[in-house]
Amino acid sequence: TQLLEQSPQFLSIQEGENLTVYCNSSSVFSSLQWYRQEPGEGPVLLVTVVTGGEVKKLKRLTFQFGDARKDSSLHITAAQPGDTGLYLCAGATNSNYQLIWGAGTKLIIKP
Amino acid sequence: EAGVAQSPRYKIIEKRQSVAFWCNPISGHATLYWYQQILGQGPKLLIQFQNNGVVDDSQLPKDRFSAERLKGVDSTLKIQPAKLEDSAVYLCASSFGIGDTQYFGPGTRLTVL
């Protein structure tokens, strides 16, 4: 059974601080996606990483795919209250392209 | 471009009652997904359609859940009879094709009392 473990499960920090969220698996994925979900809404795709070692930046968010394509991290620099939400990672395999989802990291940024 | 539409947004029922959810995907999207998201967990795929055919329903509890996409556009998901553990957010997503980016609707929050 393929599993994606996210850590931490919950993080509450002050505005301006930096943070890193992790997504780990023992399985290899062809691609890995990060989503943000706000209360009462569906997940919204932030980024897709496909190459081992790949780094993508989205303003203050930096996403990295592990060299072995089994893990990924999301780093937020100078967090803002608008970054508050549930961050989900999801991995895809070439076999059926279905997404394997992590349980999410609930992030709260306090002003 | 209109996003994925879902209704109702909220539903409260008692156990053993039935309930139905509706989803209208993004125009032109052939692939439609129904997910169940229990509080504190990631989404769990219940069923995936490609046009009006079922691609995967391996995690759909078929004794109580059913879904259809008769004309290959909008879809309904039904639960009959509902159990307490069915309390969750039911998300509908669509994509242009299999493996393409999925776009999610706002979900239906179901509470079973």
Residues in a beta bridge with B110: B11, B88
| Close Cβ partners of A39 (under 8 Å, ≥ 6 residues apart) | none
pLDDT at A63: 98
Q: Given an 8 Å threshold on Cβ–Cβ distance, is B43 in contact with A88?
A: yes
Mean pLDDT of A87-99: 87
Nearest to A101 among B42, B48, B109 (CB): B42
Q: Which of A66-80, A85-99, B6-20 is the least confident region?
A: A85-99
pLDDT at A98 over 90: no
Taking the C-alpha atoms of residue A75 and residue A61, their distance in angstroms, rounded to an integer, is 6
Is residue B96 within 8 angstroms of chain A, CB to CB? Answer: no
Is residue B104 within 8 angstroms of chain A, CB to CB? Answer: yes
pLDDT at B30: 96
Written as tens digits, the pLDDT of chain B (113 aa) is 689 999 999 999 999 999 999 999 999 999 999 999 999 889 999 999 999 999 999 999 999 999 999 888 999 999 999 999 999 999 999 999 998 999 999 999 999 99
Q: Which residue of B has its CA nearest to A104?
A: B42
Q: Given an 8 Å threshold on Cβ–Cβ distance, is A97 in contact with B43?
A: no
Taking the C-alpha atoms of residue A60 and residue A83, their distance in angstroms, rounded to an integer, is 10
Q: Provide the token pair at A76.
A: 């937020």
pLDDT at B28: 94
Show the CA angle centred on residue B59, arms to residues B20 and B32, nearest 5°: 60
Q: Best of B102, B108, B109 to disrupt the A interface by mutation (most A CBs within 10 Å)? A: B102
- Contact status, residue A24 vs residue A71, Cβ threshold 8 Å: yes
pLDDT at A95: 74
Of the candidates B65, B68, B70, the residue with the CA atom closest to the CA atom of residue B88? B65
Taking the C-alpha atoms of residue B82 and residue B90, their distance in angstroms, rounded to an integer, is 13
